[in-house]
Amino acid sequence: MSDLDRAQRHRAIFRTAATITLAWVLILGAFYLVPFAHLSGTRSILRLVAVVALVGAVLAQQIRRIAKAELPELRAVEALAIVIVVFLAGFSIIYLNLSHGAATTFTQPLDHTKSLYFTISVFSTVGFGDITPRTDAARLIVAAQMLLDLVIIGTVVRLIFNVARTRIQPREPSVSAGADSAEL
């Protein structure tokens, strides 16, 4: 980014912001428009595995894109935003299905907005307490999200930015010991 002039830098940042916004609109739009609520909550463990696999696949794709990017630092920000929205939408679908499978799963029935709100409050560790899981299955899935939140916040963030940093750092020529002694 430091090699770009001011106008190029602004364009690159705008493109990144636009890409993130578009990804969030498309993913959250699909979450609201696709009828996930009709699915029962009985297969929630399978859905949890599917969400983890999907987040892993998206993360792997994003890391490959960072490794090839012209501006890896912006690509890393974009990748993190996309991985997070996929993660949030995935857990929101699980909570929505659980709630529709049995209305007593949470302290109140969840619709799309409430399930997204609950997912974000768990992700941000705010946990207002207005919506809480009431069944053991729901508690286990919420606990799994909490643990995976730590993985996302810690490991995934570090991984994404390390890949970007590696891409940014100029490669230093390797110097062999023989070459060093010859110069002396």
- pLDDT for 170: 61
Tens digits of per-residue pLDDT, 16-75? 999 999 999 999 999 999 886 566 656 777 888 889 999 999 999 999 999 999 899 999
**Residues whose CB falls within 8 Å of the CB of residue 167, separated by 6 or more in sequence, listed in order:** 66, 67, 69, 72
- Residue 177 pLDDT class (50, 70, 90 cuts): very low
The chain-wide mean pLDDT, for the chain, equals 86
Helix 72-101 / helix 157-168 crossing angle, nearest 10 deg: 160
- pTM value is 0.82
What mean pLDDT is predicted for residues 93-108? 90
167 versus 107: the higher-pLDDT residue is: 107
